[in-house]
Amino acid sequence: MILLVGQIERTMRGRDAFQEVDYPRLFGGMAKWVAEIDHPARVPEMLGRAFHTAMAGRPGPVVLALPEDMLVETASVGVLPRIEVGSPVPSAADMARVAGALSAARAPVIVAGGSRWDVVSAAGLAEVAAAWHLPVAVSFRRQELIAGMHPSAAGELAFGPNPELIALVRDADLLLILGDRFSEVPSQGYELIGLPQARQRLIHVHPGPEEIGRVYAPWLGLAVAPGAFVAALADLPRPSDPPWAARTTAMHASYLAWSEPQGGDLMSRLMAELNARLPADAVVTTGAGNYAIWPGRYRRSTGFGSGLGPTSGSMGYGLPAAIAAGLRHPGRPVVCFAGDGCLQMTVQEMATVVQERLPLRLIVADNRQYGTIRAHQARAYPGRITGTQLVNPDFAALARAYGFAAWRVEGTDAVRPAVEAMLGHDGPALLHLMTDPAQVTPGPRLTDI
């Protein structure tokens, strides 16, 4: 992302003028580069560097500040061509080491995640996994990297993961982390594979060289994008009878059982109804909150571009992401999940949905609280509820005011007709689910409500 932001006139710097901001201090810890364009003749130079910086290695944001008086000056400059950032490929020697490690392995696991993926590289991963019978787990909210029904799909390393997936990774003798940093969530608090030396033989492939060895000491670290590595992996000789094939099949069966909606709660019933009716090309988005565990676990990926979720944990992400998906893929069904607290971070974007005439489906899980924090309180400070209760609007009425069709759902018997009505409507529609405050995850209910 290239962020172009306004700045005060250059002659007013340092006076705390109206709306003066020290952008390097404000964005320095979040952006890859922060700078100010102090002369119009430098616009091509600075923009060129901005796009290269933002797109190279691990992609990220760049912030350029534009002083107000600079914006009205003129200069005679050329126009840069479109910036294309290449990607290095692994060397033959590196791939020979990878081939040797695979041939010696008895229980290898791939963990795919991170950025720099596209349709081609995700398809390449699927082909390699099928040819080698390798189990593929995905990092937190990266389910789109392999379809859930692919025979190598092992599940997501997320909050509340499948215990059998945790055992698969922990017991691996070769772990290939492909594109991901393997940070707090997928590593289960940095405890899954050991620090700094992993218990498994670790091959870490990441597009940003600064990540190799920063947290984990890999047996082999490759600073390449995942697509380039997958293409090189496809050229290696394939084993005719890999000793881990049965392990892969068993893990996929475990994943299918784990991802089948179960339980009598409202959200599980909703997921079962949606799975029976949504087409394969549907895009599902979520924000941040425990409610997102239900679609994360029970909506199996149908491939690249089928799901969007905030790996940063940003509340309010789901609705803007759904708008982006609807604009990018007109004609594809888009379903957004939001919590009651989550939706109110960006609820005004419902006006954008109507303005752009997007047939978006918005599902609000309303448990009248910040459920994730409430669960932390129940675990660490039972009986001490502080600042997590919410007084919410009638989301169905609010949606109608914006121009949505809307239905309120208060019991499991009402789920099926409400889902049918929502999906059958030809414009934006909302379901307001009155969920159980004690059922904040698909697991056990809270006991101190």
**Is the peptide bond between 196 and the residue preceding it cis, with omega within 30 degrees of 0?**
yes
Residue 270, pLDDT score: 97
Mean per-residue pLDDT over the chain, rounded:
94
pTM higher than 0.75 for the full model?
yes
The pLDDT value given to residue 81: 87
**Residue 448, pLDDT above cutoff 80:** no
pLDDT at 285: 97
Coil/strand/helix, residue 365: strand
At which residue do the structure tokens 């929502």 appear?
422
Which of the four pLDDT bands, split at 50, 70 and 90, describes residue 125? very high
Mean pLDDT throughout 413-439?
Answer: 96
Contact 62, 2 (CB under 8 A): yes
Note the pLDDT of residue 345.
95
Give the confidence band of 316 by pLDDT, cuts at 50, 70, 90. very high
Q: What is the pLDDT of residues 97-124, one digit of tens each?
A: 999 999 999 999 999 999 999 999 999 9
pLDDT bracket for residue 449 (50, 70, 90): low
- Write the secondary structure of 28-89 as one string of H (helix), E (strand) and C (coil): CCCCCEEEECCCHHHHHHHHHHHHHHHHCCCCCCEEEEEECCHHHCCCCCCCCCCCCCCCCC
Residue 335: both structure tokens together: 């379903």
Helix residue ranges, H only, 363-424: 371-380, 395-402, 415-424
- pLDDT at residue 171, rounded to an integer: 96
Torsion of CA 348, 350, 355, 357, to 10 degrees: 170
Q: Which helix (H) or strand (E) holds 310?
A: none
Encoded tokens for 354: 């109507």
- Supply the pLDDT for residue 46: 95
Instruction: Determine the average pLDDT of the residues in 225-239.
Output: 93
Phi and psi at residue 148, in whole multiples of 5°?
-60, -30
Residue-level pLDDT at 307: 94
